[in-house]
Amino acid sequence: MTISLPFLRPTPHALVRRIRDLPPAPKVLHKLQQLVSSPTATIRQIAEVVQLEPGLAARVVKMAQGTRFGRGVPSASIAEAIQRVGLAGVHELVTYAVAAQLVGRPLRGYGLEAQALWSRAVACAIAASSLAERSDVDRGDAYTAGLMHGIGLLVIDRHATQKEQPRLESVGYPWDFAPAERAWLGFSHAEAGAALLELWGFSAPVIAAVRYQLEPEEADAGDRKLSMVVATARWARSLFCVPEEKIPELPAAHWLEEAGVQIGDFGEWLGTVRRRYQITCGELRLG
């Protein structure tokens, strides 16, 4: 493994600004988050925002036809799709669709195919939202942070490709690729992802949860619970999506407790997440 000298290493923010072929900022998601949180938002306003990107609009309509959201009944328009799933549901739909757009090609620096990265994002989002239902964490923030928890991999992968860096290997949950990344760059995909989300204008809680997903104890008090949710959700993601790794060791007991699940309820929670993940993966494999 190549280890760079500290004084030659970029910071996460500098690296994000340096990479030229990163996906464009998902402006639709940012606008949608503002609308969904507004008590005066209307379905028409939300439909107008989604329609700003025709490709994204087509994905939302198609997703709304699935059994999870629409029981297989076709939607004639964006407005009808939104009416069917409701404001919270459309936030979930659009978040999935945006994440699918961001994951457009394999990550050669990590040996990850695009579909594998997408599946990891979906699993983490579903697990995080399920934990949010058990606590006072905002469900929308949990979904978004779960889906975006690996976005920093895209940043570092682009840099690794340019530098012809040998493949970065994972050590498994809970550290994933962080040891190899930190040996090379001095920071991990968690910090890189937080820097990118900050550049894109995501909310402060989501940025903090992505930044502290590996070490949630380091988060400030106001961000700690959401960080614990994402850190714990990554365990389910590893169990479902990384079959080549051994079964990950359970998260620390205080991680589980702060994330909203007791050891005695862990099996029930995991079963719920598995069912949701299987249904969602079947419906969101879009061409």
| Fold for the domain defined by 107-287 | Hypothetical protein af1432 (1.10.3210)
Length of the chain: 287
204-245 pLDDT per residue, tens: 999 999 999 999 999 999 999 999 999 999 999 999 988 767
Q: What is the pLDDT along the chain (287 residues), one digit of tens a residue?
A: 444 555 467 899 999 998 877 776 676 776 776 777 677 878 788 888 877 777 667 767 776 776 555 555 666 677 887 777 776 677 676 777 677 767 778 899 999 988 888 889 889 999 999 999 998 898 888 988 998 999 999 999 999 988 888 899 999 999 999 999 999 999 999 999 999 999 888 889 999 999 999 999 999 999 999 999 999 999 999 999 887 677 888 898 899 999 999 888 888 999 999 998 887 776 665 43
Q: Can you give the residue ranges of every domain in the chain? A: 22-102, 107-287
CA distances for 95 relative to 174, 186, 266, angstroms = 25, 30, 27
CB 187 within 8 A of CB 195: no
This prediction has a pTM of 0.82
In angstroms, what is the C-alpha Rg of the chain?
18
